[in-house]
Amino acid sequence: MNLHRITLRNAADLDGFRRAVRWLACEELAPQHVVWSLDEAPGLFGEDALRDAPPVSLPRGVARLIELGVCHSDPERYALLYQLVWRVLNGERDLLEVASDPLVHRIDAMARAVRRDLHKMYAFVRFRRMKAEHLERFAAWYEPEHFVLEAAAPFFIDRFRSLDWTILTPVGSMRWDRRELRFGPPGRREDAPAEDGFEEGWRGYYESVFNPARVNPVAMRAEMPKKYWRNLPETASIPGLIQTASRRVDAMIGQEATMPAKRTPERALEAMWDQEPATLEDLNAIIAKAGPLVPGATQAVFGEGPKHADIVFVGEQPGDQEDLQGRPFVGPAGRLFDKAMKEAGIDRSHAYLTNAVKHFKFEQRGHRRIHSKPTAGEVKHYRPWLMKELELVRPKLVVALGGTALLALTGKSTPISRSRGRARFGPYLGYVTVHPSYLLRLPDEVTKREAYEAFVEDLRRIHDLAQADPDTGELPLAAE
């Protein structure tokens, strides 16, 4: 029997496999006449020089199984997939419907394993800022089980389009420079920073979304196998969170009795994680359904602005006017903010304005509703929604207006005077400045004027930062 050897890359060589299939099908070579071998960098299809052949038409389901199957680490993957193709092209067009067929069963299981590996990668890659870099660059080390690097690329580009990032794995690497994706050689763990300044932030974020009522360490380990833990800063919190979970569940149950059944924040969070919102509209529907944490607000006030604005401004919570009109920053602080933005050259209609807390909290004094500052606990409850909002908008720059916004974005309470200026909030370039209502509260006109000028100056920097050159990452503020 004349055997034909096909050598493909020992990676997800989808193009190579497709080309080989076209040629083999055209030559009518059955699987038993083909030997598949793997090489790190094969020449053009190894021993058999393949000529171009016309495409073959395969059912969509088969084409999808091929896309996933080539990513599997099983060395027999190409041989198995070609057996599938051969049978489909030779009288068994509906083969995939025969779930009991051993070949279908095996390839299905491979596809499921690859899908699972992709989801794990989406969830467990943590970018860290590269030290001593003048440009803003991030790197992550990750060890997938299968060859999923290329298949995962669209997800990471979509999520982190405005960042310059590299993912290093033992079998290959990829770099997105905000314009182009390039694949490269395998990396080493030590090529990616072990940590950066935002470890605390990731931990705080994880703690805020952790639901003690759902603790199941076995399931947790299955979902987040220990091998990934060392790359995830938030896993430092897991043992403590598990130990205190039952106490926290008791506290939750006690709390629930004092709250209207439909409106508990825990329910809101559960709703959020059960059906992850894919759009801002979905997210807003969840927030609206949850209702205010503290009773009284007329409505939830959602973020407002273009869906993918370059700048997101995060305020504290809606005020009296915002509560009535259902829009952020439309009261006295909002008017001052509008004026300052205009002076700094920022077009409000191009920015996205939102708040750390989405409902107005107040004290009733006669006819007046006096703003009451949200507590740290309230900020924490709304925080996952804010994080999800940022994830959906994917801005270039996130601006914390005042201490409450800063607490929401970092999980830490820090004086504005200490953190004013450029910052980093997880994957986002950030900026910290005062809240416009602080300017309204200043007692004398001179101080007020000076503080206002400084605020406008901050907004000018913010405007420049959001215009950073996407090619070089150079900021107009390079002198800073």
Give the footprint of ligand URA on this chain (CB under 6 A). Answer: 315-319, 322, 328-329, 331, 333-334, 355, 437
Output 81 or 351, the one with its CB closest to ligand URA: 351
| Shortest distance, position 121 Cβ to ligand URA, whole Å | 37
Angstrom distance (rounded) from CA 429 to CA 423: 6
| Shortest distance, position 329 Cβ to ligand URA, whole Å | 4
CB 405 within 8 A of CB 315: yes
Output 7 or 437, the one with its CB closest to ligand URA: 437
Angstrom distance (rounded) from CA 141 to CA 6: 32
| Shortest distance, position 306 Cβ to ligand URA, whole Å | 17
Output 73 or 437, the one with its CB closest to ligand URA: 437
Output 329 or 382, the one with its CB closest to ligand URA: 329
Output 198 or 302, the one with its CB closest to ligand URA: 302
| Shortest distance, position 402 Cβ to ligand URA, whole Å | 7
Angstrom distance (rounded) from CA 319 to CA 125: 38
| Shortest distance, position 367 Cβ to ligand URA, whole Å | 20
| Shortest distance, position 422 Cβ to ligand URA, whole Å | 21
- Tracing tokens 């915002």 back to the chain, one arrives at 322
Sheet strand arrangement including 128-129 = 128-129, 137-141, 164-169, 172-176, 181-184
| Shortest distance, position 366 Cβ to ligand URA, whole Å | 22
Output 73 or 317, the one with its CB closest to ligand URA: 317
CB-hemisphere CA count at 13 Å for 58? 24
Q: Which residue is nearest to ligand URA (CB)?
A: 315
Query: Exposed, middle or buried by CB within 10 Å (0-12, 13-18, 19+), for 466?
Result: buried
Instruction: Of 142, 17, 19, 5, give the one whose Cα is nearest residue 67.
Output: 17
Query: Exposed, middle or buried by CB within 10 Å (0-12, 13-18, 19+), for 377?
Result: exposed
Output 235 or 317, the one with its CB closest to ligand URA: 317
Strands of 297-394, DSSP E:
311-315, 352-355, 362-365, 368-371
- What type of residue is 424? R
| Shortest distance, position 469 Cβ to ligand URA, whole Å | 31
| Shortest distance, position 419 Cβ to ligand URA, whole Å | 17
Output 33 or 373, the one with its CB closest to ligand URA: 373
140 strand-pairing partners = 167
Q: Residues near 285 by Cβ (< 8 Å), separated by ≥ 6?
A: 277
Radius of gyration over alpha carbons of the chain, in Å? 27
For CA atoms 325, 328, 330, 331, give the dihedral sign. Answer: positive
Output 69 or 315, the one with its CB closest to ligand URA: 315
